[in-house]
Amino acid sequence: MTDDRRSPSFVAALDARQRAMLAEMGVRVWTPRPAAMPSAPATAPAHPAPPAPAVPAAAFVEPRAPAPPRVVPIARDAGPAPAVAPRPSSAPAATSAELSVRPAGVDQMDWTQLREAVAGCRACGLCRSRNNTVFGVGEVSADWLVVGEAPGENEDRQGEPFVGAAGQLLDRMLHAVGRSRHGQGAQGAYIANVLKCRPPANRNPQPQEMAQCEPFLVRQVELLRPRLILAMGRFAVQSLLDSTEPIGRLRGRVHRYHDVPVIVTYHPAYLLRNPIDKRKAWADLCLAMETTGQ
């Protein structure tokens, strides 16, 4: 949780839904204690009274209001995304001799073909240490696409993106804007990563790994045709916007990826370490909602 100590007028201007969104993301709204009715002292005090102590922020977190239903159906050709079928972790890892080129024709694949191509990919060394590929999760009708970095340990084990602590925060952030990883259309957010395999010990993705994996993400965007992409963290930004600018310099405006609006925001794992920036992430989500007119 982080406190948001803004001016009383800012706080007063928040409606119930905005307060609920902030609470969902763990941003506490601090509200100053209402001024006590002054009672005229008979005589002037010798010393002015000390300022009233701030009321504990937790006391001012309002109960979460349910997000109003918003249904904006988007026409899509594809059917529901097939379920993840994780490879048993006992399956043998590939040796370096087994590295091969990525399957051809990724740019023509449908969802099923693409998922199979990712599952069988041996195009970089990450296939040696992975337990499962992590294709993505969500409904293909979802009109937001969230792009993260790479699977971590839990994701590698379960074959689904963002299932650890960062994923729980991501789910709360999505809930705060009336969306979820299982929602359809305007209630949904498809979640995918730049890399589909876990880098050993969660090290940073390497350029050649990103290059090998990029066509898969490109095809996911083409098939999904999202109304908006939320790029979370520097590797999503590098891949989608081809930029190494810091997140702080890229957020707050609308970028484009193949004509799709892109909003840049902090990675949830960063927000867990730097909760003070949750309010900036909230502003990014507000910009995303504005951009899609929701």
The residues of the shown chain that bind ligand URA, judged by CB under 6 A, are 148-152, 155, 161-162, 166-167, 193, 269
114-148 as b/e, with b when 16 or more CB fall inside 10 Å? Answer: bbebbbebbbbbbbbebbbbbbbbbbbbbbbbbbb
CA dihedral 127, 129, 132, 136 (to 10 degrees): -70
Torsion-angle region of 239 (φ positive above 0: left; ψ -120 to 50: alpha; else: beta): alpha
The minimum distance between CB 155 and ligand URA, in angstroms, equals 4
The minimum distance between CB 166 and ligand URA, in angstroms, equals 5
The minimum distance between CB 231 and ligand URA, in angstroms, equals 11
Alpha carbons 236 and 242: distance in angstroms, whole number: 9
Nearer to ligand URA, 148 or 188 (CB): 148
Question: Taking CA 160 as the corner, what is the angle to CA 247 and CA 228, rounded to the nearest 5 degrees?
Answer: 45
Nearer to ligand URA, 14 or 84 (CB): 84
The closest alpha carbon to 156, from 117, 120, 127, belongs to 127
Nearer to ligand URA, 164 or 183 (CB): 164
Nearer to ligand URA, 31 or 193 (CB): 193
The minimum distance between CB 196 and ligand URA, in angstroms, equals 10
Contacts of 241 (CB under 8 A, 6+ apart): 231, 250, 255, 257, 262, 264
Alpha carbons 207 and 117: distance in angstroms, whole number: 21
Nearer to ligand URA, 61 or 166 (CB): 166
| Assigned token pair, 253 | 């405006």
Nearer to ligand URA, 31 or 220 (CB): 220
CB–CB of 269/181 below 8 Å? no
- Which residue number is nearest to ligand URA in terms of Cβ? 148
CB–CB of 167/268 below 8 Å? yes
The minimum distance between CB 198 and ligand URA, in angstroms, equals 9
The minimum distance between CB 12 and ligand URA, in angstroms, equals 37
Nearer to ligand URA, 131 or 193 (CB): 193
The minimum distance between CB 133 and ligand URA, in angstroms, equals 12
Indicate the residue type of 292.
T
